[in-house]
């Protein structure tokens, strides 16, 4: 089933004031005071405005920054990178490709063994879809990546128990 991800007035009307400030006005939420910085559940993070899939919990890591951080997007075409010269510094802003929502920034201080990138995102720009709701919310095609990572974890646990 092909899904359409579009930004429309109805989707903007459904945003909280904080979600609107972050996604539409390029805001930043407070570190350690946001919904997903410490979320460890398996699932998919989507654009709060359009529902476009952006990041997977399989690529989330603890950056100690106070914001949810990922090593990569679920698809390189789901995000757009732009130069950001605000706050008297040069940074790389990350926006959703379809909705043009401000998501956060990209830094080069992520895990070296996974490419060295840190997509530092605002929770207010994201909606989390737990793995057990992927099908019911129309994201069933992403479920396989969680089953594969669970099988790898289960396989390594079994191997360790045999030694």
Question: Tens-of-pLDDT digits for all 163 residues of the chain?
Answer: 457 787 888 889 999 999 999 999 999 999 999 999 999 999 999 999 999 999 999 999 999 999 999 999 999 999 999 987 776 677 899 999 999 999 999 999 999 999 999 999 999 999 999 999 999 999 999 998 887 655 444 444 444 333 3
The residue range of the domain holding 108 is 9-155
Residue 63 domain flag: yes
CA distance 148 to 151: 5
Contact criterion met (CB below 8 Å) for 127 and 46: yes
Residue 144 domain flag: yes
Q: What is the CATH number of the domain that holds 81?
A: 2.170.150.20
Number of domains in the chain: 1
* pTM for this prediction: 0.86
Residue 122 domain flag: yes
Supply the residues annotated as catalytic.
120
Residue 4 domain flag: no
């Amino acid at each position: 089933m092909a899904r359409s991800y579009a930004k429309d007035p109805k989707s903007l009307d459904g945003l909280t004031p904080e979600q609107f400030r972050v996604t539409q006005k390029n805001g930043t939420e407070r570190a350690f005071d946001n919904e997903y910085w410490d979320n460890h559940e398996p699932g998919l993070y989507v654009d709060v405005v359009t529902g476009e899939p952006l990041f997977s919990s399989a690529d989330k890591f603890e950056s100690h920054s106070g914001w949810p951080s990922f090593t990569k997007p679920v698809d390189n075409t789901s995000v757009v990178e732009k130069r950001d010269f605000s706050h008297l510094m040069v940074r790389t802003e990350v926006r959703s490709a379809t909705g043009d929502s401000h998501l956060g920034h990209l830094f080069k201080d992520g895990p070296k063994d996974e490419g060295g990138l840190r997509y530092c995102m605002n929770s207010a720009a994201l909606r989390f879809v737990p793995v057990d709701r992927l099908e019911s919310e129309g994201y069933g095609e992403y479920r396989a990546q969680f089953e594969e990572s669970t099988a790898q974890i289960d396989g390594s646990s079994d191997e360790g128990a045999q030694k």
